[in-house]
Structure 1
Amino acid sequence: MQQAPERTAVIVDDDADVRNLLAAILQQAGFTCIITSNGPDGIEAIREHHPILTTLDVSMPGIDGFEVVRRIRSFSTTYVIMVSARDEEIDTLMGLDAGADDYLTKPFRPRELRARIEAVLRRFHQYEKPSEVSYSSSASGVATRAPVALATGGSPGPGLDETSDGWLDHNGLRIHPEMWQCELDGRPIDLTRSEFELLLALVEGRRRVISKKELALRLRGGPTGEYALDADRRAVEVHLANLRRKLSDPVNSPRFIETVRGVGYRLTHSLRT
């Protein structure tokens, strides 16, 4: 039997007090912490240790957090929580647009960070059996952690093909829930965990309209009855905008994702002839 993988987190922050607080909270949650004080060291730690979770400060000397997360996204799908004293909405949007999954402002309450960590772990356990986790690389070299089991809700509906090897196909877009891979017209598309999860939710939903609240709660890993904040809904909007850009899927003539105004999103019609 394979050993369960070590639950690792990387902390990137130039403030020693904040680093110690983050390490204490993460260690209580069962993480082994790799602590770094600047962007370049953080990038190398992520490359070496393949963490489940990374906390990242924004305002650091040299390379700021926005640039760090952009570089991280060239090779890693680690779940990135940006932790910053910059609390303007534009800063949050810039962080998410750069590739972060979540944004937490300083000073923060430890309870709030623990809640976000628990959401990450719920998602992690939803997709992976710890005794069977494996790492793989996409064709572009991005390291991905391959989830083992994910229910796809039964047989595919109209406009959605499921191949014998587990791929879900729609209009030239292919997504594999278990291998955590996505292809568009035969070429790999590198998605963050949040982008992949949103796309998978829409593909599995077929033509059902999925609200921003439902998508936000899926990203948080919480039950459907929970309350979704306005910030959670805005995060969904930013992640979907990034996803559409990667898929070259314009809002006014979508090939994959339709916006249903005032309601949410759904998969487009099939383009079969």
Structure 2
Amino acid sequence: MSTDSPPATAPVALIVEDDEDTAELLDLVLSQAGFSVITALNGTEGTELARLHQPALTTIDVSMPGMDGFETTRRIREFSGTYIVIISTRSDERDILAGFDAGADDYVPKPIRPRELQARLAAVARRPTTTFAPQPVTHAWAAAAEDPARSAYHRLVVAGGQPVDHLAAIPGPVTVHEPEPDEELEETGEAGRDGMLELGMRFVGSWIEFYGLRINPARGLVVVDDRLVDLNPRQFDLLQLMFYSGTRTRSSRYLALRLRGETEETTRTQAYQDRDWVESLMENLLNRLGERAHAPRWIEARSRSRFRLVRPE
């Protein structure tokens, strides 16, 4: 294992990998991104180096002698907030979800494609992929931060501790308002954990999985069929709000007020303005997800500018 201390000015990336060729490829990609790279050949050494150097980013192979990558991920996650990317030849859904459950933030299948890896990391960091060209370390990539408020809210929903129907899904200064006539058209259903489970959603670590679409509220990440999708903050908030709506149908007015943290009493916008805004925002979100209007997988448009999650057959 490499034990030399990296320069203090560079963010540290840790590679836990027993295959020499793969380790060299990852070293090249991460070095070009501005990282100071250290390498361990197995999970035990990787855990020790993670504790010693507190890396911003860690890549972990699944199949290693002794401690496997899932256990290594769990042990590192006990004391470190490093952004963990699992690298593996095992890429079926069960293995991917096991990686997320262990505490990983992303899952990259082998053989590794350098350009794809660079693009995925750039999307996580909310940076264009060009930032991965050799550059001064002052502009180096930084791991996506975790939002404590979102994390706490996610844990509350997963535990079923409070009905989301009476709270905004996005943490913020939102006050409950009495339903307007248009909102009374919303179909009955369950919001929050019960409604989400009824639709077949699964809670895996800090991730919510809905038939190939996964979101990580704590880090603002979205994955579609193992492909990272880069959403802007408004798009992510809208998607999260729809997830937490469970089996409820939501009007454009409802969504707009929740996204802005307003009530009917405090808002200055008219209903038709919110309808146009949310419809445009929803269209852009669905395009980013790769949703098809004629055969939606996750979100479908209803009459009178209302939306709901698809009921899987």
Q: TM-score, normalised by structure 1?
A: 0.51
Indicate if the aligned counterparts of 2:62 and 2:69 stay in contact, CA closer than 8 A: yes
Q: Structure 1, residues 171-197: CA drift from partner, whole Å, max 9, x if none?
A: xxxx469xxx9699xxxxxxxxxxxxx
CA distance in 1 between partners of 2:174 and 2:227 (Å): 23
Indicate if the aligned counterparts of 2:153 and 2:171 stay in contact, CA closer than 8 A: no
In structure 2, the partner of 1:28 is 32
Instruction: Call closer, same or farther: CA 1:204–1:17 in 2, change over 3 Å.
Output: farther
CA distance in 2 between partners of 1:220 and 1:111 (Å): 20
Indicate if the aligned counterparts of 1:13 and 1:60 stay in contact, CA closer than 8 A: yes
CA distance in 2 between partners of 1:49 and 1:59 (Å): 23
In structure 1, the partner of 2:246 is 260
In structure 1, the partner of 2:83 is 79
In structure 1, the partner of 2:220 is 219
User: 1:39 aligned to 28, 38, 43, which one?
Assistant: 43
CA distance in 2 between partners of 1:263 and 1:116 (Å): 33
Matches within 5 A, 1:33-182: 33-122=37-126, 175=148
CA distance in 1 between partners of 2:38 and 2:175 (Å): 43
Aligned pairs, number:
172
CA distance in 2 between partners of 1:17 and 1:61 (Å): 17
CA distance in 2 between partners of 1:8 and 1:263 (Å): 46
Indicate if the aligned counterparts of 1:119 and 1:220 stay in contact, CA closer than 8 A: no
Pairwise CA distance, 1:219: 3.4
AA of the residue aligned to 1:203? P
AA of the residue aligned to 1:261? T
CA distance in 2 between partners of 1:219 and 1:82 (Å): 18
Q: Structure 1, residues 215-246: CA drift from partner, whole Å, max 9, x if none?
A: 5797359xxxxxx623359xxxxxxxxxxxxx
3-state SS of paired residue (1:20): helix
Larger Rg belongs to: 2
The structure where strand makes up a greater share of residues is 1
Pairwise CA distance, 1:259: 4.3
Q: TM-score, normalised by structure 2?
A: 0.45
Matches within 5 A, 1:228-243: 229-231=224-226
Pairwise CA distance, 1:120: 3.7
Q: Which runs of 5+ in 2 are unaligned?
A: 1-6, 128-136, 155-168, 177-190, 192-207, 229-242, 260-313
CA distance in 1 between partners of 2:55 and 2:173 (Å): 30
Pairwise CA distance, 1:98: 0.8
3-state SS of paired residue (2:39): strand
CA distance in 2 between partners of 1:103 and 1:120 (Å): 12
Q: Which runs of 5+ in 1 are unaligned?
A: 124-129, 132-144, 151-174, 185-200, 222-227, 234-256, 268-273
User: 1:203 aligned to 171, 189, 192, which one?
Assistant: 171
Pairwise CA distance, 1:121: 3.3
3-state SS of paired residue (2:126): helix
Q: Structure 1, residues 29-70: CA drift from partner, whole Å, max 9, x if none?
A: 111101111001111111111111100000001000000011
Indicate if the aligned counterparts of 1:82 and 1:102 stay in contact, CA closer than 8 A: yes
